[in-house]
């Protein structure tokens, strides 16, 4: 189990110190990290209310605010009035203009108590935000008068989520990035101006519904999201690669289509459209495909459209979202249980690992287990918590590079008095 864990742990964030937290009583292992400024921060453990054997760790202190963000919103506004929405646009922006625009967005949007994430790049803009309902009209006017003119023609409308009722973000962050979505490719090898076909949800639905009847075969439909996103919802008949990053999605996409004729229509989808806009341009300019389609506004827009129609949805389950909601329902259907014995699981969109051989994942119905450790002293810490990382931050590190091999982790467990699994010996 530990070897599988080491192989599949995610890359660590930049400017962070990796720390492995291990409970003496809890069967799972969790990777955490702290920023250099958190030298004296307390690390706390959070137990899932639905699945108490799964837990995560977080710091109770946050790093100082930078010029890229506003403080967490503290207002008398009811969080239930917030609407979650998104927009993006692929276009060429001048690097020198990004800093001033970031400052302007932070200054202008905070007056309406808007929270969320906005990324600026020479490739364009990508935004996911939450806005109080009473300020939605003001935001719409601002978007039309201030944001759209900077981006050029054919800019999408604000793309409202299908579920609201909570503030999906804590604060407003506007950050400048080298790329809107990291693809791992040389940007000179593709042309983002060669955008794929953006089909309205109605046309997307019609094309997929009629494709087999017209062409005598199933459409080539690719899910451009990560594996934990497609596990809780997907379009029927889609190829859903087992990937963790967009870089891996691009590699999987190229592998899927490598033997197809270049006049073959390709359909692809993602949450809101940004990943497909980039992947489609790469597929057309690098691989020479004539026609690549995406659903305009992504799964979110399709979900809105399907709720207004008297037709059967081609999408099943939930649309994973990278915010506090962790997903929005497109249909009421629940896809297969997100659990594989002795391996990774996804529970309500959260990736975790469970003890080898543990099969049951029932919600807690009775009182808390007295042996369930909530005291930080009941955890074993492997690594240096709160010490500035000496590794180079221009590259992403795997946990095993810093924490060591699983055998070293077992030795730390043994030193702490934790009972080792019977199949392991030191």
Chain CA centroid to CA 127, Å: 13
> Is residue 384 exposed (0-12), middle (13-18) or buried (19+ Cβ within 10 Å)?
middle
> Of the candidates 242, 207, 208, which has an alpha carbon nearest to the alpha carbon of residue 226?
242
Alpha-carbon distance of 274 to 300, in angstroms, equals 12
Chain CA centroid to CA 128, Å: 12
- Residue for token pair 């939930």: 318
Question: Which two structure tokens, joined as six digits, stand for 228?
Answer: 């934990």
Question: Which two structure tokens, joined as six digits, stand for 329?
Answer: 């329902």
> Of the candidates 336, 304, 313, 126, which has an alpha carbon nearest to the alpha carbon of residue 230?
336
Alpha-carbon distance of 14 to 12, in angstroms, equals 7
* β-sheet bridge partners, residue 352: 345
Backbone CA torsion sign across 224, 225, 227, 231: negative
> Of the candidates 200, 206, 163, which has an alpha carbon nearest to the alpha carbon of residue 332?
163
pTM of the model: 0.64
Task: For residue range 75-108, list pLDDT tens digits in order.
Answer: 667 778 899 999 999 999 999 999 999 999 999 9
Backbone CA torsion sign across 400, 406, 408, 411: positive
Task: For residue range 179-202, list pLDDT tens digits in order.
Answer: 999 999 999 999 999 999 999 999
Q: For each of the chain's 426 residues, which pLDDT tens digit applies?
A: 444 444 343 334 444 444 443 333 333 333 443 333 333 333 333 333 333 333 433 333 344 455 676 666 566 677 788 999 999 999 999 999 999 999 999 999 999 999 999 999 999 999 999 999 999 999 999 999 999 999 988 899 998 887 777 778 889 999 999 999 999 999 999 999 999 999 999 999 999 999 999 999 999 999 999 988 988 899 999 999 989 999 999 999 999 999 999 999 999 999 999 999 999 999 999 999 999 999 999 999 999 999 888 889 999 988 888 887 787 888 887 665 443 333 443 333 333 333 333 333 333 334 444 444 444 444 445 455 555 656 554 455 555 565 566 667 677 767 777 666 555 445
Alpha-carbon distance of 204 to 207, in angstroms, equals 5
In the chain, the N- to C-terminal Cα span, in Å, equals 16
Q: Where are the beta strands (DSSP E) in 214-289?
A: 220-223, 233-235, 266-269
Q: 239 — phi, psi (to 5°)?
A: -85, 125
Among 270, 276, 385, 389, the active-site one is: 270
> Of the candidates 305, 325, 319, which has an alpha carbon nearest to the alpha carbon of residue 83?
325
Backbone CA torsion sign across 243, 89, 164, 64: positive
Query: CB under 8 Å to 151, separation ≥6 — which residues?
Result: 89, 91, 124, 125
Alpha-carbon distance of 229 to 56, in angstroms, equals 19
Instruction: Bin 125: left if φ > 0, else alpha if -120 < ψ < 50, else beta.
Output: beta
The sheet carrying 220-223 orders its strands as 197-199, 292-295, 266-269, 220-223
Alpha-carbon distance of 5 to 421, in angstroms, equals 15
Alpha-carbon distance of 232 to 376, in angstroms, equals 32
* CA angle centred on 157, ends 155 and 162, rounded to 5°: 140
Q: 105 — phi, psi (to 5°)?
A: -60, -45
Q: 310 — phi, psi (to 5°)?
A: -100, 55
Catalytic residue check, 55 = no
Task: For residue range 256-272, list pLDDT tens digits in order.
Answer: 999 999 999 999 999 99
* CB-side neighbour CA atoms (13 Å) of 142: 15
For strands 379-382 and 115-121, give the pairing: unpaired
Question: Which two structure tokens, joined as six digits, stand for 300?
Answer: 């979110």
Question: Which two structure tokens, joined as six digits, stand for 170?
Answer: 């804590």
């Amino acid at each position: 189990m530990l070897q599988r864990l080491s192989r599949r742990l995610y890359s660590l964030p930049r400017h962070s110190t990796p720390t492995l937290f291990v409970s003496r009583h809890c069967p799972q292992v969790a990777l955490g990290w702290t920023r250099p400024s958190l030298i004296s921060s307390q690390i706390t453990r959070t137990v899932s209310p639905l699945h108490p054997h799964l837990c995560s760790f977080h710091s109770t202190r946050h790093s100082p605010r930078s010029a890229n963000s506003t403080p967490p919103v503290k207002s008398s506004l009811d969080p239930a009035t917030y609407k979650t929405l998104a927009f993006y646009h692929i276009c060429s922006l001048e690097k020198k203009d990004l800093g001033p625009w970031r400052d302007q967005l932070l200054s202008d949007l905070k007056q309406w108590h808007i929270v969320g994430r906005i990324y600026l790049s020479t490739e364009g803009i990508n935004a996911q935000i939450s806005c109080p309902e009473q300020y939605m009209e003001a935001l719409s006017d601002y978007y039309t008068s201030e944001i759209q003119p900077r981006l050029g023609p054919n800019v999408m409308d604000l793309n409202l989520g299908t579920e609201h009722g909570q503030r999906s973000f804590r604060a407003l962050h506007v950050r400048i990035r080298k790329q809107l979505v990291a693809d791992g490719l040389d940007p000179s090898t593709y042309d983002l101006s060669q955008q794929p076909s953006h089909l309205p949800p109605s046309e997307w639905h019609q094309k997929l519904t009629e494709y087999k009847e017209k062409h005598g075969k199933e459409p080539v439909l690719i899910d451009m999201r990560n594996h934990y996103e497609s596990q809780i919802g997907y379009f029927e008949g889609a190829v859903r690669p087992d990937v963790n990053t967009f870089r891996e999605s691009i590699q999987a996409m190229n592998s899927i289509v490598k033997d197809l004729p270049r006049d073959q229509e390709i359909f692809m989808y993602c949450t809101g459209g940004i990943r497909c806009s980039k992947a489609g341009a790469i597929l057309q300019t690098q691989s020479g495909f004539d026609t690549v389609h995406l659903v305009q506004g992504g799964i979110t827009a399709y979900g809105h459209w399907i709720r207004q129609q008297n037709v059967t949805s081609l999408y099943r389950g939930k649309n994973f979202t990278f915010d506090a909601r962790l997903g929005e329902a497109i249909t009421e259907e629940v896809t297969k249980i997100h659990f594989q014995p002795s391996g990774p699981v996804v529970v309500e969109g959260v990736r975790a690992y469970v003890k080898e051989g543990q099969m049951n994942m029932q919600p807690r119905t009775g009182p808390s287990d007295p042996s369930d450790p909530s005291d930080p002293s009941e955890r074993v810490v492997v690594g240096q918590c709160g010490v500035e990382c000496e590794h180079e931050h221009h590259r992403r590190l795997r946990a095993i590079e810093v924490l060591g091999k699983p055998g070293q982790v077992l030795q730390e467990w043994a030193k702490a008095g934790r009972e080792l699994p019977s199949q392991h010996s030191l």
